Structure 1
Amino acid sequence: MHTMWKGTISFGLVNIPVKMHAATENKDVKLRNLHKECQSPIKYQRVCPVCDREVENDEIVKAYEYAKNKFVVLDNEELEALKKEQEDKSVEIVDFVKLEEIDPIYFERSYYLSPNEGGSKAYGLLRAALKDTEKIGIAKMIIRSKEQLAVIRVYQNTLVVETIHYPDEVRQVQDVPNVPQEVDTPKKELDTAKMLIDQLTTEFEPEKYKDDYRTALLELIEEKKNNEQVVTGEEKPKPDNVTNLMDALQASLDKAKTDKPKPKQPKRKTKTATKQKKKIAK
């Protein structure tokens, strides 16, 4: 399993060197956008609307927009210094609480923790203490340049970090439109609804749930592939130096013909001028 972070978890005077691994993965079926005419993948480019050209990575800087079209530019050195300052700190568990005290709306993403070198004994100590007390730890940590609030708990004999939202990141329920405050529900309807809930109540078995849409989509893709209903995108023609040279020479030749000044035509002598010269000669 890929290690995405290394650090130290501490509580009191106990320090636990750990490695962090992603506990979940996104299994959405990713579809590409093709040009209908030639079946080639669409390429998205970063274009500056003012300079009207594609921008390279080394031309891009980070900035914070504090007002409409007003920015504070932050260079990479400043951002890296802040990141390094926070990463050097150990992840300290500051509080212990009951898991049921945290509403699920706060939970964001899960990561497994494994002990790093020399950390097995302290890892086992924290795991046992959390199990026996039925508590979880509240901590702060830096993940992908962002300071995260997190809980540390035990899941199937493994320590897990659950990143959770800060309170100001959870929108106020009062802002949700059209939520009725009080509804007069007839007792008969309520009893029927509660009876239906009782009939459908069971133990949670995650294995019995599956993504029906993803399964159907993969089956459709496989069926089309087996029936050879496939297309091959056209590749962009690679530049040919010989062809380019001939094109350049031809273009130069055509331009030279266009720019070449036309030869001056000799002036035609008029009949009157000829007669006058003959008279002078006599």
Structure 2
Amino acid sequence: MPNAIWKGHISFGLVSVPIVLYSSEDKSASISFRQIDKRNNARIKHVRINAETGEEVPWEDVVKGYEYDKDKIIVLDNEELEKLAGENAQTIAIESFVDRKNLEFVMIDKTYYLVPDKNGEKGYVILREALLDTDKIGIAKVIISTKEYLAAVAVYKNALVIYTLKYDDEIRKLSEFPIPSAETKKYKISKKEMDIAKQLVQSMASKWKPEEYKDEYKEAVDKLIERKMRKLPVKAMKKRGEATATATNVIDFVSLLKKSLASKKAAKNDKKYKTQRKRKA
């Protein structure tokens, strides 16, 4: 079970549902690199240095600051920020409901799963089914890691999810870019060209199956790492091999136990069946 982002409530009208917020992103599926010094392969450490004293600053002395002018900073400590957030820090209050079709992909920042907390199942299901039946999404605000996000509460399969959204002023306007206008006549596109383009689109149409798409770059990097591991000195390879063998043995052992348990149950059921037949005979 992944770690929760936070626990709180989602509310609409007078209804309040206890929920737990989880990130939908599985970071273990991505490649994680460390920064190293190529001269001796040593890890590079990043430290917090005081710009005036040159000394390292411990985490407990780090606070947030807003630079309103060069070298002029207003300090904001965590207690002040938490006080400003108030109850909103633990509440997702739906302010309105809009048609689902109004949600544009360009607005979406991240996705989080909402899971009902203790005694929250009924309210959770009521909200989910209401959104499905009306084809609506809830517009709310949520504070995650001291930042307030505009958010859309929607249904994904049988779960409620939250899409954190970019505010309108955070999205660049299309007018900033030389995008071709909607007036297609000015581009002198012939009917034949459009017909062929449509035929091509139709010929390439398929059912959306996200599980069929893999991160090919990650797979290539994995193979590169594997090739480099094979070239490591024998001692290093032995250590890695031993660890791998241990892990493999654990998996095989569990597999054998499950197979043994299944065969025992099958044998027991077979014996019970034969006994019943003898009694009937």
Q: Do these two structures clear the TM 0.5 threshold for a shared fold by scoring above it?
A: yes
Structure showing greater relative contact order (alpha-carbon pairs closer than 8 Å, 6 or more residues apart): 1
TM interval, short-chain normalised: 0.7 to 0.9
Deviations 1:102-130 (A, max 9, x none): 11111111111111111111111111111
Deviations 1:112-169 (A, max 9, x none): 1111111111111111111211211111121111111111111111111111111111
Deviations 1:169-220 (A, max 9, x none): 11222223x4444761431443333322221122211111111101110111
Instruction: Give the whole-Å Cα distance in 2 for the aligned partners of 1:79 and 1:201.
Output: 50
Answer yes or no: is the 8 Å Cα contact 1:224–1:230 preserved in 2. no
Instruction: Give the whole-Å Cα distance in 2 for the aligned partners of 1:30 and 1:4.
Output: 21
Q: Percent identity?
A: 40
C-alpha displacement at 1:83, in angstroms? 3.5
Provide the aligned length of Structure 1 versus Structure 2.
230
1:81: which partner in 2? 83
Deviations 1:204-247 (A, max 9, x none): 11111111101110111122213327999xxxxxxxxxxxxxxx
2:209: which partner in 1? 205
AA in 1 matched with 2:56: E
User: How has the CA–CA distance of structure 1 residues 99 and 33 changed in structure 2, closer, same or farther, with 3 Å as cutoff?
Assistant: same
**Partner secondary structure for residue 7 of structure 2:** strand
Answer yes or no: is the 8 Å Cα contact 1:39–1:231 preserved in 2. no
1:184: which partner in 2? 187
Deviations 1:47-84 (A, max 9, x none): 33432333333443321112233221212331232234
AA in 2 matched with 1:142: I
Normalising by structure 1, report the TM-score. 0.73
User: How has the CA–CA distance of structure 1 residues 11 and 77 changed in structure 2, closer, same or farther, with 3 Å as cutoff?
Assistant: closer
Instruction: Give the whole-Å Cα distance in 2 for the aligned partners of 1:217 and 1:128.
Output: 43
User: How has the CA–CA distance of structure 1 residues 117 and 85 changed in structure 2, closer, same or farther, with 3 Å as cutoff?
Assistant: closer
Instruction: Give the whole-Å Cα distance in 2 for the aligned partners of 1:57 and 1:205.
Output: 45
Structure 2 unmatched runs, 5+: 237-281
Instruction: Give the whole-Å Cα distance in 1 for the aligned partners of 2:188 and 2:204.
Output: 21
2:152: which partner in 1? 151
Q: For the pair shown, which has the larger CA radius of gyration, 1 or 2?
A: 1
Instruction: Give the whole-Å Cα distance in 2 for the aligned partners of 1:119 and 1:190.
Output: 53
User: How has the CA–CA distance of structure 1 residues 76 and 8 changed in structure 2, closer, same or farther, with 3 Å as cutoff?
Assistant: closer
User: How has the CA–CA distance of structure 1 residues 141 and 231 changed in structure 2, closer, same or farther, with 3 Å as cutoff?
Assistant: farther
* Equivalent position to 1:43, from 42, 45, 65: 45
Structure 1 unmatched runs, 5+: 233-282
